Structure 1
Amino acid sequence: MHREHSDIGPLLDSGTLTELRPLGEGGDQVFRSAPELRHAIEQRLGPDVAAALAIPQSDESGSRFDWYAPNPGTVRRWSSLAEDELATAKARLDEVERRITALADEMSRDDGSSKDVQRKRQSLARLLRQVMTYPDASHLFLVDHRPVIAFWGFSRRAESDPTAPLGDGITIGHPTDAQRMRPPPSLADRVSRLFSARKPRLLTVGAVGALLLLTLGLVLLRDRTENTAPDEPGAAADETPPGSQWPAPGEDEPGEPIVIPIDAIATGSTDFLTGQWRALGDQLTDNASGQPIQLTYRMQAGRGEVLVKEQDGTLCRADVTASFDGRVLVLTPLTDVRCPADSGLPPYYGVTVTCQPTTDQRSSCTGKYPDGEEVRVELLRQPD
């Protein structure tokens, strides 16, 4: 059962993804599965273990996060602890890590399930192994003598990290005492903010959530993704209308299939992507209507944005980054897809596109939804 509003703890930490790298596997990110991961840990390992993981709330853009303690209590920074307190807190965190690692090991073992269930168990195991990774000790807190981690499932970007989003640097700001005192939002509100109201149009239940239904017997919030209007229509979305910085994609523009240069694979450079691209596929559809959608990318040195064109002509956008995972090129949304304020469509999480070189010098590409479903797509370069 989810905790009631009165049991929610204080605000611990806040920040954006400017200098932090979300961890994950194959398009599944730890922080986007945070409620399911915490719930799985609580069910399998107990509430004391889950209480070591702060609860994230994202803003409408999906780029800024507040992290709340799971339980009420007095907050103390890691750096303020006495030596004996620090030793005790570290020992508790070590035990939490040991138990989560053991759960990951259990989930990764073949238990005789079907191949599909086993694949999802292994996906969960990979995410669990990254739960206890955090940028540094400034994101560790003691809440009534219990250690709590904020920004778990994140690491700090290296200065030369090619996947770093466009921006002027880190904007992590630890909350003031006054901010800590403000009433936290309800857990239901935080879940609905983290898992955007619009998501059923491009995805159903997350990969980890689907796995929990299959293997852990957990009950997830079915109504967290109802198609409701955002709380404040016309707020941030009015500031930068989606698609306003570059023209909408044409319907019949020709395109050349992507060819990934061998030297780009060797060096990890994504400069060859500079320009405009379209991702097309018969199965690349809006889940609500079943109608096809278009993804158009505009890239500069491996970073840029994606324009999503709905069947009704609505244009929505998100920031994206490109990187190599071995020989595989990955185009990953950095933020939720946002639509014009007058469309009445709340933000939602988009599709991760991956392309792998084939023997005929072309590439085989797929689009992956956050629920793990994969569909074939073509990635075509568009004329300038």
Structure 2
Amino acid sequence: MAKTLLRSGFLDDFLALGENGQPVFDSARQIRETLRLRRLQVVADSLAIPQLNDDGDRVDWYASFSGKVTTWSGASDSQRKQALKTLEKYVDNITTLSQRCLQSGNASIQLFGALLAKAVHFPGANHLFLVDDKPVITFWGFLQLNQDMQDDVLQCLRHQEPVVPVVIPEPEHEEPEPLVSQPAISSPDEPLLYSKPKQAAPNVETLNAVYAEDSDTPEEAPVAPAAPAPVIAKKRPVWLLPAAAAVAVAIAAPAVWWGMSQHSAPVQASAVQPVQPVAPKVAIAPLPMTLPVASATVVAPPPPPPPPQQEIKPVAPPKNALEMPVTDVRMGTTRFLNGNWRVVVKPLNGLDVPEVMHYQIQKNKGTVRFNPEKNVTCRAEIFSGLLKTGQLMIKPRGSARCSNGSRYPMPEIACEQGENNFAVCSANYSEHPATPVTLIKVSK
């Protein structure tokens, strides 16, 4: 009998696991009773007892015994370690029993074994409670809406030590020595170079004219030179005076003789040469073309070679993507479509639709569930079938009904066989008739 309330929640907020269209939740009482009959009462007590409300959309989870309730986040490390060891033992017991049932020749027992294998899954650590330090799991047989089944069902409970970031010490920056400002020394101005133009030697008449102008021009008053610094007179030897006079006479004598010879030399006038007449230009006749010349033809250059095409590597389909076996398609059966599917929509520009929808299909009938907004859930009935062309169609039976009272239009999904029998699917929206979608199998 239920004793302690642990947790409550809406079924639409979680993904129900199951087999062949039968959820684990519907067989919760049978699973707990089987564990008790197998003398696994402690294992059965670790699975909380579910109770639905009158509307059938909300479930309460109770512990089968009373005691002090502690959440997983509020438990100590020692309590967590002990509870984790206990749960590992319970999971091993359930897995062993599930394997025995799957090996049975009875179909109903095999179905029960498949349901038992999925019963150990639960959404997360916040759905586990300790009642008198004994672990009790709520919402077992459920997962989060966008969550996949893990190989290690207790991975969310294992303690992961936080990664300590490696701190690399920064190198000590030495303070640079202050720069001593040095006075800027400007480079001295370069001297202006002046080259005296070369002049031709003047003739006698030009010199006479210049001498005449100099005689007419009044002489300027001589500028008094600056008084030099007083220099102490040194006594010179007397014998230097006659020697200096002799040297001056020897230098001046050739210069005087050269000047006199220039004045006495007659000026020779250059002879005027007569202007010769220019011969008239004779027109040269063009040579006749004797060689046969053909008209030139313009040859178009060869077109450049086309750029090498890059090989487009096919994108590998995601894990557990929908496959359409050739045999089933030829026989017209849709057995490959039975199970729970997560439909991922890749909306195009300007298309506002839910990116994830959950389809549950069994024998060409089922339901679809999605959340267009936060805290709003919409549902609709669907049906499926194969056309003669081998195309798979999944159609709704009308608009989806939402929890806030609104209606939501549903698309038709068409799938065809692609590479390696993987399905290539698209959703038919009114605005965009070919929106690519991917069907990923969550469970059978």
TM-score normalized with structure 2 length: 0.37
Q: Which has the larger radius of gyration?
A: 2
Q: Which has the higher contact order (CA 8 A, sep 6+)?
A: 1
